Amino acid sequence: MQTVLDRWKKDYRTIYELVFDNPRIPASDIEKAIGRTGSKRFKKALELQIIVGPHLRKRSYKNLREYMYFLNCKNPVDKFLNFCEDMNVTYHAKATGFCNLWVISRKKIDFDEQIIAEGFCSDYHVSFAPDRTWSTAIQIMQEKVENFDYEDYIPQGIIKTRWGKTIEWDEKDEMLYRYFKYNMRKSLGPAMKEYGISKEEFYDFFNKLPEACTIATGYFPDTLSGYDPFLYMFETDYEDFLINLFSELPTTSFFFKVSDKLFVYVHVPKQLVRSPDLKASIKRLHIPLLINDLLKKGIIKEQAESNIDYSWGKDL
């Protein structure tokens, strides 16, 4: 018998799929799909961070590109606090692992600290989280690694770089990007009054978005805070295989490249990656074992990881 909780989870999943396909889908269409409670369910999913976004991230055009840095600092907390006031830094995170500070900036920064990796960031690729259990996802991933055939691998070019190209982008586009960056579903009315922009100008901007930006809608069935955020850095000749591999996870995964390294940002249950019990069996830590298999098979040459402790993003 279906419980109320099961029904809510099914509704959240349906809403995610609808918004992923159409970020500004009208509330009335959501209600047509799941009933009169659709708008309330969507609001609750956003409050709980089961659904995150839809967000906007600029693509890597010459006139939109951003610098990305992965640092080891002597005092990362102090650096983190300083960057909160830096209006060139659009995002930064305190981490524990191969780097202890991750910085995204609109301008190049000269650091005295150790730089692990740096460079222009590629386009982002955002996975569509499949509707499956973690055990099923891990099984699928293990089988993919086990059956990987080097001769059958054909690069797909999933992640794009556009550093040599420019796109038409004026002050009005920048203003609207900042307005919609962390919520593409914001209503038009307040911005029309504040910025003096017509409805037609809004729709011109929306029509430009698929070319200019990545639209990211995240899905985290047990809420965003219910998972551990991990950033992986891979050196590989098989990046599209890794992108497809980690896209099997039932939460949204984010992919990008910096300085020929593939970065994979995932949210996974804590018990799959680490355990407070020193006597716990390594066999339960499925993600580290999976990465070990990738190393042994030569699918990745090198790897490093960091746990993201906390972060700060600006409407820039």
Span 55-83, mean pLDDT?
A: 95
Residue 287 C-beta-side C-alpha neighbours within 13 Å: 23
Span 163-186, mean pLDDT?
A: 94
Distance, in Å, from the CA atom of 44 to the CA atom of 289, rounded to the nearest integer, reads 36
Q: pLDDT category, 131, cuts 50, 70, 90?
A: very high
Q: pLDDT category, 274, cuts 50, 70, 90?
A: low
How many other β-carbons are positioned within 10 Å of the β-carbon of residue 189? 9
* pLDDT exceeds cutoff 50 at 281: no
| Residue 214 region by backbone torsions, left for phi larger than 0, else alpha for psi between -120 and 50, else beta | beta
Q: How many helices (H) and strands (E) does the chain have?
A: 10, 11
pLDDT at 263: 98
* pLDDT exceeds cutoff 60 at 276: no
* pLDDT exceeds cutoff 70 at 262: yes
Task: Note the pTM of the prediction, 2 decimals.
Answer: 0.92
